[in-house]
Amino acid sequence: MSQGARRRRTLTFLRDSFFGLLALLFMLPLLWTVLGSFRKVADLRMHPWSLPESLDLSNYVAAFEGHIGLYLLNSTLVTIVSVLIIIALSAPAAYAFARLRFTGSSLLLGFIMTGLLIPAHAVLIPLYHINAALGVGDYLAIIGPYVAFGLPLSVLLLRAYFVGIPEELMEAATLDGAGHLRILWSVFMPVARPAVATVAIFQAAWIWNELPFAMVFVAGSGHYTLPIGLLNFQGEHIANWGAILAGVTVSVIPLMVLYLVFQKHIIRGLTAGAVK
């Protein structure tokens, strides 16, 4: 083996070791949470960093007795509906900005992108008064802000992918008599699956874990989402950390599964346009 090949092999080993160590470092909080969810509360308080001697499912029993299943269902419903609306609204907008030429398109796109600069929770109080005036609460009160603040990033990502789709596909569909909506949903959306998966994961992760909007706008305990529901395991003077860790573990599983299923699409969506 030549000296250059040995050097490249050594550099590759060092790079892989570094990123492996970095990944392990980022995974430590999650690993501690999962392991802690199988330990008794007393043992968790006395020895928080030790490994569990046996798998104890009492924390998961307490979590489901505390209605974690209902909170999981509510979060799933809110997340799915919000993400579907975001994709349904952002895809036509991204198509228009990527393929259509109309007066003021750049100005309008810049106006939409300013939504990325507005802190979502800076409008919490105005939205609270608007919802109170309209008599809107619970699911509708939080889905609206989720969709509004999810649109700018979604339009940006989808537009970047639509720009890279070959012009010939659009021309062929136009020759077949397809209109813009038909071209979008029958040609662009199937090709742009990586970008759509990326948008879905990004928005789902934010909506799934969002707390302030849900805490302020959701009044009925039967409509609590997971972040609010986990607060119920914490009292004024004491917290059931075992049940909290079990609830956090349960709440992480859906997003982990979603990411693993669409991992290849997400990577392709994030790297779209990086290499020409």
Tell me the pLDDT tens digit for each residue of 183-236.
888 888 888 888 898 899 889 999 999 988 988 888 877 888 998 888 877 765
pLDDT at 268: 64
Instruction: Report, as an integer, the average pLDDT of 106-129.
Output: 86
pLDDT band, very low/low/confident/very high, at 149 (cuts 50, 70, 90): very high
What is the reported pLDDT for 152? 92
Per-residue model confidence (pLDDT) at position 274: 47
Q: Hey, CA dihedral for 165, 170, 172, 176, is it positive or negative? A: positive
Cα gap 16→39, rounded to integer Å: 33
The DSSP bridge partners found for residue 239 are: 234
Q: What pLDDT does 77 receive? A: 93
Closest CA to 65 of 253, 252, 232, 254: 232
CATH architecture of structural domain 58-270:
Orthogonal Bundle (1.10)
pLDDT digits (tens, 9 = 90+) for 234-272: 765 567 788 888 888 888 888 888 888 777 766 665 665
Q: What is the pLDDT of residue 276?
A: 43
Contact 97, 156 (CB under 8 A): no
Q: How far is CA 216 from CA 128, 210, 219, 224, in A?
A: 8, 11, 8, 11
Q: How far is CA 123 from CA 115, 119, 129, 155, 195, in A?
A: 12, 8, 10, 21, 29
Residue whose C-alpha is closest to residue 241's, from 17, 33, 4: 33
- Read off the tokens for 260: 């693993």
The pLDDT value given to residue 275: 44
pLDDT value of residue 86: 95
Predicted structure pTM score? 0.83
Mean pLDDT of the chain: 83
Q: What are the boundaries of each domain within the chain? A: 58-270
